[in-house]
Amino acid sequence: MNSDADWTAAARQFQQDLGANWTKALQSFVPAAGPGAAPLRFAPDKLQELRDAYLREAAQLWNQGLASNPAAGDRRFASDAWSANPVAAYSAALYLLNARALLGLAEAAEADEKTKARLRFAVEQWMAAAAPSNFMALNAEAQRKAVETRGESIARGVQNLLKDIQQGHVSMTDESVFDVGHNVATTEGAVVFENELFQLIEYKPLTAKVYERPFLLVPPCINKFYILDLQPENSLVRYLVEQGHRTFLVSWRNPDAAMAGVTWDDYVGDGALKAIEVVREIAAAPQINALGFCVGGTILGTALAVLAARGEQPVASATLLTAFLDFSETGVLDVFIDDAFVRFREMQLGQGGILKGQELASTFSFLRPNDLVWNYVVGNYLKGETPPPFDLLYWNSDSTNLPGPMYAWYLRNTYLENNLVKPGQCVVCGEKVDLRQVDIPVYIYGSREDHIVPIAGAYASTRHLPGRKRFVMGASGHIAGVINPPARKKRSYWTNEKLPKTHEEWLAGAKEHPGSWWPDWAAWLERHGGKQVAAPKRYGNARYKPIEAAPGRYVRARA
């Protein structure tokens, strides 16, 4: 191959082979669409641009040689151990080049938006799993540590792997440090009511007077409630109590075989509605204030619609934290949902059964695979490290099951068909759901980087609730954005007194404020608390006596 023509022909053939290999690779990511499905096609001009860019970057990478670490901008390869190992640095850079090419190819696919979203998700999962940092033979940092520790890091990694296999999940934190009720979920209180679905906790007042309207928190049933009560310094529950609110909380039971037939109606009727009833009776209050977090917000919103259909308004105001009512913009979770998937789940669990908590936990972890999966695989097993204690990650690992019928109803009527915002489409507890009848003040919070309830999805609730509304956006994600106590003076939040149709329009007119959104919410809630009365001296009342100390038995049950 001596002439320029020979080199040109070889380069052209390489381009053709490269394009064919990319196409085959991406085609393998496409979910099977059944016999006769059209093959995946790509825009020719975009495909040519990708080929040219790939060859150009590959040439630059080769010409750059093995003298530096071109992948140092990625934190997985930022250690000087990668820079000191030219072969490892080059493999990391080549991996990132291939990953960019596959992502570009996904964008070039001529397909509907949902198919393209699935392609992007599949490529991102491959990128995360195939990183050189995940393999001892390619991870220069893990190799260096093995040499420095004379193999002890490898031995510890094997021990960590065996321990995690035994417990059934990858350790994200040192779980031995935490004990529910001892150093997490420690706000003082008592269980004052329980049924087969939940325990109701009343918390001890920390002020001489409390607002006459008690406050009820409805957390998600997909996780344990104590995300709202981790440590005293970052406890939303304690913050409420310190603000003078007589505070109650629903602690959902971790479902077992005895709950295999529990439905969405049960969670609304025997859960949220029953909790509202008991809190009103204990406090002798005509109305209460209530909060729903994540799926708890969806349950609370449904319960309020049921009450409105009955002509009742026992809730004076509601707060929705990173919660869906309108499921038209669900973000990355939409890649999992289609009619075939929902029908399969209905066939599998709709008539009875339990969805295991570990399946849910794995799904949510793989929404951020580098941060919540492979980071710990590398640290725990390749480097033999024990992750440091972190209360939030301990909670994240404390998974909960779900009853099959409830889960199947939820999938179809929310993610698939978005029926809650279609007046009269859903019948819950014998009533037609119509959110337009929920005419009460509502405080709606969404997190800017939330990957579970995207900010546009949280904002969409403003379009369906007719009462006076306040929407606030906080920095960070689904959990860290919510659990942002004022004392830490971290992050920011945004407000806008106007509520235009879209979140983009809202954000264009929003004002940024430093620190936590909690004081803004506390000031809003104060206006709905009613007058102040003497704080109660004991838990419950003559009918509802204390059963056990908080946090109760239900929250301690493991999946």
| pLDDT score for 20 | 54
* 508, 514, 519, 523 alpha-carbon torsion, rounded to 10°: -40
Whole-angstrom Cα distance, residue 79 to residue 90? 14
**How is domain 189-331+419-556 classified at the CATH fold level?**
Rossmann fold (3.40.50)
Contact 435, 414 (CB under 8 A): no
Using alpha carbons, select from 134, 129, 53, 60 the residue that is nearest to residue 90.
Answer: 60
Provide the angle, in degrees to the nearest 10, between the axes of the packed helices 4-27 and 44-64.
110
Handedness of CA 429, 434, 439, 441 (dihedral sign): positive
In the 3-class helix/strand/coil scheme, how is 292-323 assigned residue by residue?
EECHHHHHHHHHHHHHHHCCCCCEEEEEEECC
State the pairing for strand pair 492-495/469-474: antiparallel
In the 3-class helix/strand/coil scheme, how is 14-58 assigned residue by residue?
HHHHHHHHHHHHHHCCCCCCCCCCCCCCECHHHHHHHHHHHHHHH
Whole-angstrom Cα distance, residue 44 to residue 13? 16
Give residue for tokens 């493999």.
Answer: 91
Name the burial class of residue 73, with classes exposed (0-12), middle (13-18) and buried (19+) by CB atoms within 10 angstroms of its CB. Answer: exposed
Q: How far, CA to CA in Å, does 418 sit from each of 104, 423, 438, 465? A: 32, 11, 18, 15
pTM exceeds 0.85, yes or no: yes
| pLDDT score for 105 | 86
Domain boundaries, the chain: 10-29+41-148, 149-175+357-399, 189-331+419-556
Peptide bond into 255 cis (omega under 30): no
pLDDT in 10s for each residue of the chain, 559 residues: 444 455 445 444 544 555 455 555 555 554 444 444 556 788 888 888 888 888 888 888 877 765 566 777 889 998 999 988 888 888 898 899 889 888 888 888 888 888 888 889 999 999 999 999 999 999 999 999 999 999 999 999 999 999 999 988 899 999 999 999 999 999 999 999 999 999 999 999 999 999 999 999 999 999 999 999 999 999 999 999 999 999 999 999 999 999 999 999 999 999 999 999 999 999 999 999 999 999 999 999 999 999 999 999 999 999 999 999 999 999 988 988 999 999 999 999 999 999 999 888 888 888 889 988 999 999 999 999 999 999 999 999 999 999 999 999 999 999 999 999 999 999 999 999 999 999 999 999 999 999 999 999 999 999 999 999 999 999 999 999 999 999 999 999 999 999 999 999 999 999 999 999 999 999 999 999 999 999 999 999 999 999 999 999 999 998 8
Q: How far, CA to CA in Å, does 161 sit from each of 155, 178, 378, 518? A: 10, 20, 11, 40
* 182, 185, 187, 191 alpha-carbon torsion, rounded to 10°: -100
Out of 221, 294, 426, 429, the active site residue is: 294
With vertex at residue 308, the alpha carbon angle to CA 304 and CA 312, rounded to the nearest 5 degrees, is: 100
State the pairing for strand pair 511-514/492-495: antiparallel
Both structure tokens of 539: 């838990």
What does the DSSP 8-state code read for residue 415? I
| pLDDT score for 37 | 52
SS3 74: coil
221 is catalytic: no
Whole-angstrom Cα distance, residue 211 to residue 510? 31
| pLDDT score for 363 | 85
Name the burial class of residue 145, with classes exposed (0-12), middle (13-18) and buried (19+) by CB atoms within 10 angstroms of its CB. Answer: buried
Q: DSSP characters for 374-414?
A: IHHHIIIIIS-PPPPP-HHHHHHHS---EEHHHHHHHIIII
